[in-house]
Structure 1
């Protein structure tokens, strides 16, 4: 019953009746047909009427009485076991659902933790593999046979030494063939030239350039012919077949013949400068008898053979070095591959850890809710909508007495009624049974 209705109700009853013996209002109702709720409402109404008669309708006393009414209502609700079970049924069902939800979350958490262990073991295994591969990369040059690599141990040092020897020999051959080819084909000799000056000319390149571009190109490029022949000798020597051995022999023969030609031409020019009227025409027989002829051949061809052997050695060592380097590169690529897998696994581990954290947080929240639900189930649920109904009956009885029995002016009586209604509304606010939340329940653990 709202405030306006209560006011209107007791405005009609504000005129006091003739003094007569005080008695409680009687309602003509068939007791057999009266419901328990109606009986309870009537009881509260009568209690309000009776308590008001004892306190002359004082609104301050009403506040205390309403507190007692609320306590009485709590005790009554507590004794109604079946009603409490009905009120708590939704909370019990929610609690069961929450417990089932926790079980599912625990299973999910265990699954995630198992995944975490598996992935952590994979990361550890990959890290150990990377450490092993890094150790092999470092140890490969020292112990290639340990890793079934057919390479000579210490190949890098031999390669460096061979390269160190090959460079000056190559420079020597370049200088030798530039000088001897210029002396053999373009240089003019005179009687004043010494034997050394006749064979080796320190200004051969400059003089060839002055003589013309053709001469300069010839003397500059001819050393590369011999170096190319030496490279071919190395290539034919790699595959040890009869055909390659024949080719190798022919190349050596060609190189030797070319050196013989250079020596012959130089020796012929020297011979022509020194010959007399009695001298015989120069030929190979005479050339073979000259020491300088053989010095030129050995200074070129023998050094050329030495260059070819050193070059072959350097290339072989380079191959050995490449074998080790290739194995190192293979292992390095495997290191990068496993490192990428580790990075992916670590990212997955972070996601799993975040998921486990969320699951634990959800479990904590749900357990907190289960505890709240258990407190509700263990406590007494006060249906505030019902309390508001019975409290209004009590206040109605209280105000009925004021309207019927208090002999004051209409204005004073209305003021008393308004104060009682205000006290009633304050009580509803205090216990959480205001009109805005009348469909909620008020929990009290007793």
Structure 2
């Protein structure tokens, strides 16, 4: 760097120190006409020139002088109350905003903590309801009337007894109708066998199987017809209306007629097997006089009625049992619903807890920022851009003296100036007023 560029950089003053001193009264006179800023810059320039004259422009001494200049600048800035207030205004406003933010965060935290308590209470209530429902499920079979359930205790035992009775009766009816239907419609009677063997053939199904598909299908499926009629009797008996009573009567009549047909066919075959030339043709009048005719009817029809009554009883007991089970299932569904609500509430609690944690962290950070702002407000704010300007004026005065008053070679003088500039830049770095941060503020707590 040559002397010309250095002069351009610092705008060196060409007025000798003696002349400056002579002009000091004039400067004081014109101070009121100059701005405060220009007056302050001139003062720093003159101080630099004067201090350089006292130390012969030594750059090592310049470093100490710049430290003193910085301290002087700090004290001057500290005394400028209005300027400090203006510099701190943005920090004060931010502090107020942060305090307002903390209040809002605190209210939000309290609201969420209240929500947390409410959710936990809801879980406790749901859990208590679940425990009560479980207890009701266990107690329902013992005391259904306690829960306004119209079901008698011990229904399960009656149900199983009725079911045990129903099974052999069903097997009896199946055996009876398979045998009698085969005897009535397909069997050829043998005079050598007894009447009982003619009516109740132990090998009826086997013979029907040997006779053909139609025969075996008929004798196999016909018991289900009577069982179906018995089921219909139970269904019509569920609703006690006049129409259903008429239907019940017709079902009993149909069953009786069918049993009568079977008895008539069997009795007719027996009559034909034993009749003589003097015997009249077989008809209903003759059939009504035969004991076997009525025996076949009652062996099927009466047992059929008994089966229907037992079946009806079993179904009613099962309904009683179902009523209790239905109430238990209703309560079980309520338990599942409550468990789903508890799961949803726990998830909400986790979210609220996480939110509260985030709010607490934000409050801590905000309070930390408020403390930082308070430290800034309590400190002296040093506008480094301004310091750089005044320090530059001081160094300009220092170098002006070197350029005008130091009697050394041009090369040596240039080296001195460069050393002073290097010292100046080092000072800017140290106080945070380098070119990269010249628009920031440097804080110093005094």
**TM-score clears 0.5:** yes
Distance 1:254 1:64, change over 3 A: same
Q: Give matches, 1:98-113, under 5 Å.
A: 98-113=98-113
Give a deviation string over 1:287-308, Cα, whole Å, max 9, x none. Answer: 7787655654443233222211
Equivalenced residues, count: 439
Preserved contact between residue 6 and residue 396 of structure 1 (Cα < 8 Å): no
1:326 matched residue in structure 2: 326
1:172 matched residue in structure 2: 172
Distance 1:102 1:241, change over 3 A: closer
The whole-number CA distance in structure 2 between the counterparts of 1:12 and 1:244 is 127
CA drift at 1:256: 4.1
Distance 1:237 1:383, change over 3 A: closer
The whole-number CA distance in structure 2 between the counterparts of 1:11 and 1:139 is 104
1:204 matched residue in structure 2: 204
1:238 matched residue in structure 2: 238
CA drift at 1:400: 2.1
Give a deviation string over 1:366-405, Cα, whole Å, max 9, x none. Answer: 2111111100011111111221122122212221222222
Q: Does 1:51 align with 2:48?
A: no
Preserved contact between residue 183 and residue 200 of structure 2 (Cα < 8 Å): yes
Distance 1:438 1:281, change over 3 A: closer
2:95 matched residue in structure 1: 95
1:189 matched residue in structure 2: 189
1:259 matched residue in structure 2: 259
CA drift at 1:230: 1.8
Preserved contact between residue 12 and residue 396 of structure 2 (Cα < 8 Å): no
Distance 1:13 1:326, change over 3 A: closer
CA drift at 1:265: 4.0
1:124 matched residue in structure 2: 124
The whole-number CA distance in structure 1 between the counterparts of 2:185 and 2:380 is 126
The farther-off stretch of 183-192 and 349-358 is: 349-358
The whole-number CA distance in structure 1 between the counterparts of 2:425 and 2:246 is 124
The farther-off stretch of 408-417 and 341-350 is: 341-350
* TM-score, normalised with respect to structure 1: 0.85
SS class of match (1:31): helix
Q: Give matches, 1:401-416, under 5 Å.
A: 401-416=401-416
CA drift at 1:65: 1.8
SS class of match (2:30): coil
Preserved contact between residue 183 and residue 199 of structure 2 (Cα < 8 Å): yes
Q: Give matches, 1:23-172, under 5 Å.
A: 25-27=21-23, 29-34=26-31, 35-172=35-172
The whole-number CA distance in structure 1 between the counterparts of 2:328 and 2:353 is 37
CA drift at 1:77: 1.9
CA drift at 1:249: 4.9
Q: Mind listing any 5+ residue stretches in structure 1 that lack a counterpart?
A: none
Distance 1:379 1:10, change over 3 A: closer
SS class of match (2:141): coil
CA drift at 1:431: 0.4
Preserved contact between residue 7 and residue 417 of structure 1 (Cα < 8 Å): no
Q: Does 1:359 align with 2:359?
A: yes
Preserved contact between residue 384 and residue 442 of structure 1 (Cα < 8 Å): yes
Give a deviation string over 1:23-56, Cα, whole Å, max 9, x none. Answer: 8644453424315444433333333233323322
SS class of match (2:28): coil
* TM-score, normalised with respect to structure 2: 0.85
CA drift at 1:116: 2.8
Q: Give matches, 1:359-438, under 5 Å.
A: 359-438=359-438
Give a deviation string over 1:215-245, Cα, whole Å, max 9, x none. Answer: 4443233323322332233234334456655
The whole-number CA distance in structure 1 between the counterparts of 2:180 and 2:380 is 122
1:312 matched residue in structure 2: 312
